[in-house]
Amino acid sequence: MRRRKAEELFFKILMLIAAIIVCGSFFLIVGTIFAKGLPYMNLDMLTKTPGGGFYIGKEGGILNAIIGSLYVAGGATILGLLISIPVAIFINMYMNGKKFLSDSLRVAFDVLFGIPSIVYGAFGFLIMVYFGFRASLLGGIIAVTLLVIPILVRTLDEVIGTVPLELRDAALSLGATRWEMAKVVLRQIRPGIFTAILLSFGRAIGDVASVLFTAGFSDNIPTSLHEPAATLPLAIFFQLSSPVEEVQGRGYASALILTIIVLVITVLSEILIKKFSKHKS
């Protein structure tokens, strides 16, 4: 009896410690970013591109990287969705009876999911070299699209799997075609699509390795798909590697901006998920 109680207590304490470590490190990370970045945060950071001598601590901001990142992550997520939704529908609704094939496809996407992003960067770079592109916004979008497709397909596949088969039967038995049935299913999983978008966007906006060779870097806001584009993670990387203290501080301010963008998107998508869940039982 005593032993069991002791055991219970031991694991309770263990779980408490684990919880403290997780929460603690979260607040530590966010806290550090705030503490180090806030002093360097100003309106110029958000509204200006790097001015003369930005990298030795002079005026200007990182608007180029903010816009660049939003373009890359947004473009990749949209492009990724356009590819992933049909793939997920195809796996789930057009391949029934061919379980081997659909399972193989799922495994393939699981493998792709596990591939480190630098490989996508390298692959994107190869494609670009082959077609004779320079590092550009388009190159970055393509590489990041490759990166997010497995995330999108996996997430969508999972949420489609939660839709009861009877709902599909209901649509079919009204005389719906398979595509019409798929549209009903897509409607049912709208909240899930937002989750997928969120995951994909979050991954896309934070990834360095895939844009390293493909998007390039520029102090200007890209005005076409063929111009190189700065991205926030890469900007943070450059700033933090600077020996100048003020530039390092700006690196933390940039990290703060990136964190806030991700936070805002998370909250927004939560709201959207709620809004679109109203037809779910």
Partner 1 sequence: MTKTPHISVQHLNVHIGNQHILNDININIPDKKVTSIIGPSGCGKTTLLRSFNRLLDNTPGVSITGKVLVDGEDIYDPKAEVTHIRKKMGLLSQRPYPLPMSIYDNVAYGPRIHGIRKKQELDQLVEEQLKATGLWNEVKDRLNASATRLSIGQQQRLCLARGLAVSPEIILGDESTSALDPVSTSIIEDLFISLKEKYSIVLVTHILRQARRVSDYIVFVYGGKIIEFGPTEDVLLNPKEELTREYVKGYIS
List interacting residues with partner 1 (CB under 8 A): 96-97, 99, 164, 166-167, 169-177, 180, 184, 187-188, 190, 278-281
Q: How far is the CB of 256 from partner 1 (least distance, A)?
A: 39
CB closer to partner 1 out of 226 and 274: 274
Query: Which of 263, 136, 244 is CA-nearest to residue 201?
Result: 263
Alpha helices in 115-164 (DSSP H): 117-131, 137-161
On whether the CB atoms of residues 64 and 221 are closer than 8 A, the answer is: yes
Q: How far is the CB of 153 from partner 1 (least distance, A)?
A: 21
Q: How far is the CB of 163 from partner 1 (least distance, A)?
A: 9
Q: How far is the CB of 175 from partner 1 (least distance, A)?
A: 3
Query: Which of 190, 186, 99 is CA-nearest to residue 178?
Result: 186
Q: How far is the CB of 177 from partner 1 (least distance, A)?
A: 6
Strand-pair partners of 60 = 50
Q: How far is residue 261's CA from residue 16's CA, in Å, rounded to a whole number?
A: 31
CB closer to partner 1 out of 118 and 184: 184
On whether the CB atoms of residues 156 and 88 are closer than 8 A, the answer is: yes
On whether the CB atoms of residues 184 and 204 are closer than 8 A, the answer is: no
CB closer to partner 1 out of 16 and 174: 174
CB closer to partner 1 out of 223 and 281: 281
CB closer to partner 1 out of 193 and 247: 193
